[in-house]
Amino acid sequence: MISVGQPAPDFTLFDSAKNPISLHNGKGKKIVLLFYPFAFSSTCTKELCYIRDNMSLFNNIDAEVMGISVDSLYTLAKFKEEQGYQFTLLSDFNKEVSRLYNAIYEDWNYNMKGVSKRASFVIDREGIVRYAQVLENAGDLPDFEAIQASLSTIN
């Protein structure tokens, strides 16, 4: 379980443009990690469109948003293009980071194995977790107000 106050576990994943992205490269920035089950599903699209439509809230407080799912980087590239997302989407195809953050359904609907849970983490400029929420119900949305409140407390 990832707890508030602990260092965020580092990782490297490929983004939708096939670039390796490491969490430690974000040191010095406020980071929002958003795990979500699947690109193109209704609730995931609603969640990420909220971020897209409110990106100025994150940009204005120097926060970088990274979406993480077990989709392939090719699927994420199409999802990002079709929805006009201006933030990073990362492929956790091998499910390692979702497991590292305890944000995974080992058994999910339709006998699917290893699907990211909907989870959100705010990481401060020093790499410390300042907010953590892992939802059990994939139909629930993150608490965006709590995420913003957490971000606003970080200098």
Active-site residue identified among 31, 33, 39, 44: 44
For 125, the token pair is 């400029």
CA-to-CA distance for 87 and 5, rounded, in angstroms? Answer: 25
Distance, C-alpha 131 to centroid of its chain: 13
CA-to-CA distance for 139 and 114, rounded, in angstroms? Answer: 17
Amino acid code (one letter) for 125: R
Q: Reply yes or no on whether 44 is catalytic.
A: yes
Q: What are phi and psi of 39, to 5 degrees?
A: -60, 145
Cβ pair 68, 35 in contact under 8 A: yes
Which residues are designated catalytic?
44
